[in-house]
């Protein structure tokens, strides 16, 4: 994630940085850019919040309606499947395809079809991305929610694919706000076939989108404040962030990449959930062994158990 503040908070969305580069561990830990206008932005936000009087804004109602509509679309797609060519293309290009259990395939394909139908994907912001590009983005984004409702993406308005560098965020390979995902196509292509390295650009950025969805903040707590799981998540993030920092400080390797330790000026830890998600899907057994509490929380949240997945033989 690069900008990790909702677009409903636009002053900050352009100036807070994390940088989802997938780069080296040492470099990742050093990426903390302090934003001088944070205090000013916070004041503006508080004023805006007080103006709203605590009532639900029309935009919030709209996004709820969007979520209901997306879930309805998914219901209507029940039983629909990708065509042979689409399935073969995904199987050939996405490393995780060979690991996903057969009993998840139907739900996965239904979500891919709704995603393709509902979410625009551009190439360089100037034209529609090709069918192949859209298919790979949809497939990876929907693997994340294969056991969850597609309304997780109710705030998403557009995905932009960039040839290499992301315009305006040249140091990042992916960025996410509450409404938009940007992905470097060359980096996505370079990494999409490796299903076991614990790095997955698309899963990472869409995990941010899910983290944003409940409250407009990415702080590695993907459930709303009123949820019975919220307190548990809050404690988990604090404890596991500390464990990760200690592991890297003592020179150890770790199942969650070092960038998961990034902390914002406000003290939020937005990268633990996204980096943990990539580790969960791509090195589930190791995560389960090293960080059983993180693994169990993600298993409960995503409804899947990647540590039990076994590689299928190619057909």
Which residues here bind Zn ion, judged by CB under 5 A?
1, 20, 271, 274
Do 279 and 256 form a contact (C-beta atoms < 8 A)? yes
Which residue number, 1 or 82, has a Cβ lying nearer to Zn ion? 1
CB of 18 to Zn ion, least distance (A): 5
Which residue number, 13 or 274, has a Cβ lying nearer to Zn ion? 274
CB of 58 to Zn ion, least distance (A): 30
Which residue number, 191 or 274, has a Cβ lying nearer to Zn ion? 274
> For Zn ion, which residue has the nearest CB?
1
Nearest CA to 198 among 308, 90, 118, 285? Answer: 285
Which residue number, 20 or 142, has a Cβ lying nearer to Zn ion? 20
- Bridge-based pairing state of the strands 180-184 and 174-176: antiparallel
CA distance 218 to 4: 6
Which residue number, 100 or 218, has a Cβ lying nearer to Zn ion? 218
Which residue number, 172 or 304, has a Cβ lying nearer to Zn ion? 172
Q: What is the CA radius of gyration of the chain?
A: 19
- The C-alpha angle with vertex 117 and arms to 111 and 122, in degrees rounded to 5, equals 110
Which residue number, 2 or 73, has a Cβ lying nearer to Zn ion? 2
CB of 1 to Zn ion, least distance (A): 3
CB of 233 to Zn ion, least distance (A): 17
- Largest Cα separation within the chain, whole Å, is 59
Phi, then psi, of 169 in degrees rounded to 5: -135, 60
CA distance 290 to 286: 6
Do 170 and 17 form a contact (C-beta atoms < 8 A)? no
- Dihedral of alpha carbons 297, 298, 302, 306, sign: negative
CB of 247 to Zn ion, least distance (A): 19
Quick one: which H or E segment has residue 203? helix 201-213
CB of 261 to Zn ion, least distance (A): 12
Do 156 and 207 form a contact (C-beta atoms < 8 A)? no
CB of 204 to Zn ion, least distance (A): 6
CA distance 181 to 118: 15
CB of 2 to Zn ion, least distance (A): 7
Question: Which of helix, strand or coil describes residue 123?
Answer: strand
What is the Cβ-side half-sphere exposure of residue 210, based on CA atoms within 13 angstroms?
Answer: 25
Which residue number, 154 or 173, has a Cβ lying nearer to Zn ion? 173
């Amino acid at each position: 994630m690069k900008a990790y503040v909702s677009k409903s908070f636009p002053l900050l969305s352009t100036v807070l940085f994390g940088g989802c580069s997938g780069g080296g561990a040492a470099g990742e830990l050093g990426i903390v850019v302090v934003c001088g206008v944070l205090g000013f932005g916070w004041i503006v936000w508080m004023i805006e919040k007080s103006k709203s009087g605590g009532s639900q804004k029309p935009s919030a109602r709209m996004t709820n309606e969007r979520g209901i509509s997306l879930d309805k679309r998914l219901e209507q797609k029940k039983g629909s499947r990708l065509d042979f060519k689409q399935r073969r293309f995904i199987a050939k290009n996405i490393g995780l395809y060979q690991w996903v259990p057969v009993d998840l395939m139907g739900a996965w394909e239904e979500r891919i079809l709704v995603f393709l139908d509902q979410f625009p994907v551009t190439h360089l912001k100037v034209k529609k991305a090709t069918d192949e590009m859209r298919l790979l983005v949809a497939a990876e984004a929907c693997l994340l929610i294969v056991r969850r409702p597609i309304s997780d993406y109710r705030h998403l308005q557009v995905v932009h694919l960039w040839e290499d560098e992301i315009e305006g965020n040249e140091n990042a390979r992916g960025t996410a706000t509450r409404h938009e995902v940007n992905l470097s196509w060359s980096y996505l292509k370079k990494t999409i076939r490796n299903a076991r390295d614990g790095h997955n650009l698309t899963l990472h950025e869409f995990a941010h989108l899910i983290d944003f969805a409940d409250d407009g903040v990415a702080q590695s707590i993907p459930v709303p404040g009123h949820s019975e799981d919220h307190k548990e998540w809050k404690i988990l993030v604090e404890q596991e962030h500390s464990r990760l920092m200690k592991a890297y400080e003592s020179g150890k390797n770790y199942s969650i990449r070092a960038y998961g330790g990034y902390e914002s000026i406000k003290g939020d830890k937005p990268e633990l959930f996204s980096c943990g998600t990539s580790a969960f899907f791509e090195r589930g057994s190791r995560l389960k062994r090293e960080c059983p509490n993180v693994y169990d929380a993600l298993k409960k949240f995503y409804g899947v158990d990647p540590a039990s997945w076994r590689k299928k033989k190619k057909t």
